[in-house]
Amino acid sequence: MRTGSHLPLLFSLPAYAWAAPQEDIEHRIDALLKRMTLEEKLGQMSQSTDLAAPITDKIKQQIRAGRWGSFLNAGGPADRAEAQRIAMRETRLGIPLIFGRDVIHGYRTIFPIPLGQSATWDEDLISQAAREAALEATAEGIHWTFAPMIDICRDPRWGRVAESLGEDPYLTSVLGAAMVRGFQGDSLNRADSLAACAKHYAGYGAAEGGRDYNSAWIPEILLRDVYLRPFRAARDAGVATFMTAFNTLNAIPATGNRFLLRDILRSEWKFDGAVVSDYQAIRELTAHGYATGPPDAARKALLAGVDLEMVSTTYFDHLKALLQANLIDMREVDEAVRNILRLKFRLGLFDGRRPAAKPGIAALPAAERLATESMVLLKNAGGLLPLKKTIAKLAVIGPLADSPPDQMGTWAMDGNPRDVRTPLAAFREMLGNDRVVYASVLKNSRDMSTAAFAQALRLSAQSDAVVLFLGEDATMSGEARSRAFLGLPGSQEQLVDQLASTGKPLIAVIMAGRPLTFHRTAEKLGAILYAWHPGTMGGPAIAHLIFGDSVPSGKLPISFPRSVGQVPIYYAHLSTGRPPGPNDLGTPMGTPENPKDYTSRYIDLDFTPEYPFGYGLSYTTFRYSATRVSAPALDSSGSIEISADVSNTGGRPADEIVELYVSGPAGGSVARPVRELKGFKRVHLAPGETKAVTFSIRRSNLAFYNNRMEFSAESGRYRAWLAPDSTRGTPVDFVLK
């Protein structure tokens, strides 16, 4: 069994191995700060993208003058090496540069998008993927990645849900911390350590209307209990840096938000790493209406606690004048520079850190395994899957079956399409070219044309089964890719309608960067495999799943709505005073005089999600039985165990992800969610095998923020479930004394 971490991790002291004893680093920073000019300090607080290939004389001279402290997504390995040589050998103080890059879900080898990775519920494998990405990136002189993105996202209209780890703070905390450990390795000063960045701090996933860069309104109790928890977990995992968010949070932009950056991050959490703005976010304080212009934006960002400005230049342009006008203090500048220098010392850059050795091909097997575990089987009517390899002819339909850029997904800037192994190629390799017929039918997923439908019908009629690739192009998700409608784009639904008329078995593989709505289409499909954007090795992973070499084990990290009108929809909601029950499906018929259906629901759609959080099918079946609790009560210092017997009642060996949910306390100081994920375990079971799966619960696992912003566990009655998803399971009760 592989076990998810438990909540005490989120609130423990950090135990991270830094480059050198902290006292030595601070002494070296003190000595350096005393020698630095103001211009050199402002240069350290500035980050540029203007490192061309080849490096220009203008940039060389700016580096010699100390104009820049870091570069973002810029230059090639040789250019970075030359820029670093100049910084360390041809500048007055020899302060090294940091080279950052958006290594989001892989570097050269592209892993599934983060939302897909989260569907594995496999922290060890996710950590390994981040480690492989770090090995590839650091071999080319990259020191810093702007990942993981650990925004809680409950609105699939938002394009950046693809970069998130889903809707749940516990799952995001565990997997986000795993990414941090993978990127950074055992110690930041190692040549293969890639400094991680927890982003976007904070509340960006709650952007109003799912529109990017938009406002977020989050009461403090919800902010602390849900949206900040993954960031605290990243801090406790030793994350090197934080990035501010583009959004306003309760009318104050996150990049100018002292409450977030100084009160919580620095004072409460004792974070001593560097804080970087998002791309031009300091300059955008003026567009928010929060600053009167660039000088005021620079002042407010610095006072709030932003150390490093990404791309825009308000710090370099205006902090000197603000100092002269006594609108800021040199201590605030020195504090920011100290945090940046501390990062450089921890990375070993002052001591001549060199690029890591180039890795071998170990990333490809990990990429295929992660892609395989990420895919979620949503439907398998009549056991249609897996197909038999003796099939005479297979029709493969749809442009996403053979589109390397779309398979890589959003934020795959260093991925090479030539490396990508597509599903079409994998099917042909498995079955032979003569047994696989293919038609793209559409130019891309957005194509409205129906001109090639006849070809698809002809090929399907000649085949024994049809694997139909549906979904979104990679360009439809990611930053600034919000959608008002979540249906299958283009003429894809019409294509399914046509193919369903052939009577051939229809298997849909859906590649997308978000949950989509496809209820009517799903009724016409025999099987649905949700593949996200699965990365470099997605093709073999899909082929092996379709033909049974692998067994699906992915579980949804986010609820799938039936309609966009249900958004936001998430499992850990409050009950309301009139909660709908299992019989409150369909169209209500009550009246004000006889309010038998006056519950919190819709009159034109079932209130439940299409597919709930934690859901995912297998090629076998599992039975949960004998759920039990080791004691009726839990005292303040002990623990109790929640157990259930999980049996493989089907005919294939497979993995099941067992999920622990808890609710309560009844009658507490605030209303609590109907369920909250508190743990998970991956269990491998042979056919007919039963294993007892046990979780330990301590008082700290039950803690939450009350209306006085106190984090504690309250006494009372709690309820627990061991379940295959967030809607099922037999409850057991216990009392916290």
Angle at 59 between CA 56 and CA 62, to 5 degrees: 150
Instruction: In whole angstroms, give the CA distance from residue 14 to residue 238.
Output: 6
Kindly write down the DSSP assignment for every residue of 553-599, as one continuous string.
Answer: ----SSPBPSSGGG-S--SS----SS---TT--S-----SSS-TT-S
State how far the alpha carbon of 479 is from the alpha carbons of 159, 482, 488, 691, in Å.
6, 8, 19, 43
Q: Tell me which residue of 45, 84, 565, 547 sits closest to 317, measured CA to CA.
A: 45
Report the b/e string of 198-223 with b at 16+ CB within 10 A: bbbbbbbbbbeebbbbbbbebeeeeb
DSSP state of 514: S
The DSSP line for 625-656 is EEEEES-SEE-SS-EEEEEEEEEE-SSS-EEE
Task: Name the amino acid, one letter, at 133.
Answer: A
50 CA to centre of own chain: 29
Cα R_g (the chain), whole angstroms: 26
Which residue, among 483, 413, 416, 500, has the nearest Cα to 445 in the 3D structure? 483
Contacts of 61 (CB under 8 A, 6+ apart): none
Q: Name 394's bridge partners.
A: 436, 465
How would you list the strands of the sheet with 690-698, edge to edge?
A: 622-629, 639-648, 690-698
Q: According to the 3-state scheme, what is the secondary structure of 146-168? A: CCCECCCCCCCCCHHHHHCCCCC
Residue in 705, 567, 559 with CA at minimum distance from that of residue 226: 705
Give CA–CA dist 429/448, Å, rounded: 31
Contacts of 263 (CB under 8 A, 6+ apart): none
Cβ(482)–Cβ(211) below 8 Å = yes
What angle (nearest 5°) sits at the alpha carbon of residue 29, between those of residues 24 and 31?
100
CA distances 661 to 572, 584, 640, 642, 677, Å, are: 10, 23, 14, 10, 4
Rounded to an integer, what is the distance from CA 91 to the centroid of its chain? Answer: 39
Number of Cβ within 10 Å of residue 623's Cβ equals 13
**Is 272 designated active site?**
no
Residue 660 in 3-state DSSP? strand
Q: Which two tokens stand for residue 327?
A: 């609108």
Catalytic residue among 278, 296, 406, 655: 278
In the three-class reduction of DSSP (H, G, I as helix; E, B as strand; rest coil), residue 542 is classed as: helix
Alpha-carbon gap, residue 500 to 351, rounded angstroms: 65
Alpha carbons 134 and 142: distance in angstroms, whole number: 9
What is the set of active-site residues? 278
